[in-house]
C-alpha cells in the first residue's frame, strides 16, 4: 500500500536559518511526487512536481529534490512569510489518479 511519511511534524526557524523538510514514500510505481504549501483554513497551493530520481526543482527560496525513497524540500534563508504547512503527496500508476498525502510539516519562521 502506498504510504507517505513527513518529518519533522513541526519546525521552528529563525529568519535566515536554512533547513530541510523530509518526505519518505513507499509506492508501487511512482507516477509523480508533489509538494504543496497550505496556509491555515485554505486549500493547498501547488509548488513542485518531481517525476524521477535525481530531479530537482527551484522556486525562490525553495528547492525540491527526489531520490528513489524520499524527497527533500530545502528552504534557504527563510522569511516569516514562508510560515505554513508543507504537504508532500505521491501518485502511482494504479489508474485512479489519486494523491496519497503525508500529514505535513508545520513550519514557523520567526522574525
Partner 1 sequence: DAGVTQSPTHLIKTRGQHVTLRCSPISGHKSVSWYQQVLGQGPQFIFQYYEKEERGRGNFPDRFSARQFPNYSSELNVNALLLGDSALYLCASSLQGQSIGAEAFFGQGTRLTVV
Question: Which residues lie near partner 1 (CB under 8 A)?
Answer: 4, 31-32, 34, 36, 41-46, 49, 51, 87, 89, 91, 95-104
Return the number of the residue (72 or 100) whose C-beta is nearest partner 1. 100
- Least distance (Å) between residue 13 CB and partner 1: 20
- Least distance (Å) between residue 111 CB and partner 1: 25
- Least distance (Å) between residue 15 CB and partner 1: 26
In Å, what is the CA distance from 42 to each residue of 3, 84, 97?
24, 11, 23
Query: Computed from CA positions of residues 59, 65, 66, 69, in that sequence, does the dihedral angle turn out positive or negative?
Result: negative
Return the number of the residue (45 or 56) whose C-beta is nearest partner 1. 45
- Least distance (Å) between residue 51 CB and partner 1: 6
In Å, what is the CA distance from 84 to each residue of 12, 77, 92?
11, 15, 26
Return the number of the residue (17 or 31) whose C-beta is nearest partner 1. 31
Residue 24: strand, helix, or coil: strand
Question: Which residues, in sequence order, are CB contacts of 57 under 8 Å at separation 6+?
Answer: 48, 49, 50, 63, 64
Return the number of the residue (8 or 16) whose C-beta is nearest partner 1. 8
Amino acid at each position: 500500500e502506498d504510504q507517505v511519511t513527513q518529518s519533522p511534524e513541526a519546525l521552528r526557524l529563525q529568519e535566515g536559518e536554512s533547513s530541510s523538510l523530509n518526505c519518505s514514500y513507499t509506492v508501487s510505481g511512482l507516477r509523480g511526487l508533489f509538494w504543496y504549501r497550505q496556509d491555515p483554513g485554505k486549500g493547498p497551493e501547488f509548488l513542485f512536481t518531481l517525476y524521477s530520481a535525481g530531479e530537482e526543482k527551484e522556486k525562490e527560496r525553495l528547492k525540491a529534490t527526489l531520490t528513489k525513497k524520499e524527497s527533500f524540500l530545502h528552504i534557504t534563508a527563510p522569511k516569516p512569510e514562508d510560515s505554513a504547512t508543507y504537504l508532500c503527496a505521491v501518485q502511482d500508476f494504479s489508474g485512479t489518479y489519486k494523491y496519497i498525502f503525508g500529514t505535513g510539516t508545520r513550519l514557523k519562521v520567526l522574525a
